[in-house]
């Protein structure tokens, strides 16, 4: 029998390399960072090679680690695919969809209800931040912003988007200006969306002001700060102020009139929203129907 290394050690290395941190790897694996470090050390001892450079709490791959990681990530992806194939025969009329919180209520829920009614496929919808574990959680499809966490899976763009200012009609009636440059909106009435952990360096009000040509000086008030996109949009609907929001997520509110977008100035979101799924599930009937419904097949 070949002298194979411990599967736990290989898994610990793969997750740590993907996450770039023993702490994050421990969170994903459900163990402590010390346990991950120990498993990786045992793997290094078995191989006789250093796989990570350790600098305090920071880690980076060595040449040996960089050579090993893509092959190991592919191997775990193949194992996941094999498990998914077995599962697919047991739940052909059910689809497990993991969706980013910001997408869940404002974009996906109406589509999910229509899809289920038309096809008879039962949906198990999981509202989750990234990253998710397809294998452990038996996820068929992931809908999220960007694909950096899932390089080994199939990825199909859903749509690109713009961040636009939105507010309640009554709010704009009080703070309007003829050019839509928001010059009469006090800084205290700007709703600041922290976007959430899946979004990195997304548009801020200072970015919008620079794009509008109204200056990039520091804000005189911190305004209203929210860490959830859906909550920021809801606050705008209730007249709390004006928010920068993805246009797709506010399209129905704009159509109904519960929100208005008073300015033509917008900012591009820096990544696409994407649909991600394991290779082994790509030909499953429920997945194919779902992709076709989203116009991705």
pLDDT (tens digit, 9 = 90+) per residue, 79-93?
776 666 555 554 557
Alpha helices for the chain (secondary structure H)? 7-19, 22-29, 33-47, 63-88, 101-103, 109-119, 134-137, 169-175, 205-212, 229-237, 247-256, 285-293
CATH assignment of 7-70?
1.10.10.10
Q: 256 forms bridges with which residues in the sheet? A: none
Pick from 4, 9, 2, 8: which is nearest to 43 by CA? Answer: 9
**How far apart are the C-alpha atoms of 64 and 49, rounded to whole Å?**
7
∠ CA 218-192-260, rounded to 5°: 110
pLDDT (tens digit, 9 = 90+) per residue, 18-66?
988 898 888 988 899 899 899 999 999 998 989 999 887 788 888 888 8
**Which 3 state secondary structure label does DSSP give 150?**
coil
Q: Are 242 and 164 in contact (CB under 8 A)?
A: no
Which residues make up the CATH 3.40.190.10 domain(s) of the chain?
92-159+272-293, 162-268
- pTM, whole model, 2 decimals? 0.66
**How far apart are the C-alpha atoms of 273 and 275, rounded to whole Å?**
7
Question: What is the rounded end-to-end Cα distance, in angstroms, of the chain?
Answer: 44
Which residues make up the CATH 1.10.10.10 domain(s) of the chain?
7-70
pLDDT (tens digit, 9 = 90+) per residue, 140-174?
999 998 888 898 899 999 999 999 999 999 999 99
**How far apart are the C-alpha atoms of 199 and 202, rounded to whole Å?**
6
CATH assignment of 162-268?
3.40.190.10
State the average pLDDT over residues 115-119: 91
Residue 124 is encoded by which pair of tokens?
């198990």
CATH assignment of 92-159+272-293?
3.40.190.10
Task: Evaluate if residue 178 carries a pLDDT over 90.
Answer: yes
């Amino acid at each position: 029998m070949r002298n194979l290394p411990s599967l736990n050690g290989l898994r610990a290395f793969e997750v740590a390399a993907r996450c770039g941190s023993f702490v994050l790897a421990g969170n994903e694996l459900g163990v402590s960072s010390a346990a991950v470090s120990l498993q990786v050390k045992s793997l290094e001892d078995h191989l006789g090679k250093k796989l990570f450079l350790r600098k305090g709490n920071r880690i980076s791959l060595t040449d040996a680690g960089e050579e090993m990681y893509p092959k190991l990530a592919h191997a775990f992806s193949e194992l996941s695919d094999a498990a998914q194939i077995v599962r697919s025969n047991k739940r052909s009329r059910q689809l497990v969809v993991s969706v980013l919180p910001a997408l869940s209520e404002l974009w996906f829920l109406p589509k999910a209800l229509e899809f289920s009614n038309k096809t008879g496929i039962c949906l198990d919808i999981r509202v989750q931040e990234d990253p998710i574990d397809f294998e452990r959680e038996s996820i068929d499809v992931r809908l999220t912003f960007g694909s950096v966490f899932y390089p080994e899976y199939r990825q199909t763009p859903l749509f690109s988007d713009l961040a636009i200012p939105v507010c309640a009609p009554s709010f704009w009636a009080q703070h309007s200006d003829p050019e839509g440059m928001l010059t009469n909106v006090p800084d205290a009435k700007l709703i600041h969306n922290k976007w959430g952990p899946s979004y990195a360096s997304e548009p801020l009000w200072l970015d919008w002001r620079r794009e509008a040509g109204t200056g990039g000086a520091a804000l005189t008030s911190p305004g209203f700060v929210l860490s959830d996109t859906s909550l920021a949009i809801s606050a705008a609907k209730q007249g709390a102020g004006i928010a920068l929001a993805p246009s797709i997520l506010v399209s129905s509110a704009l159509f109904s009139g519960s929100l208005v977008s008073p300015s033509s100035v917008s900012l591009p979101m820096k990544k696409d929203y994407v649909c991600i799924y394991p290779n082994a599930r790509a030909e499953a009937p429920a997945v194919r129907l779902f992709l076709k419904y989203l116009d991705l097949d």
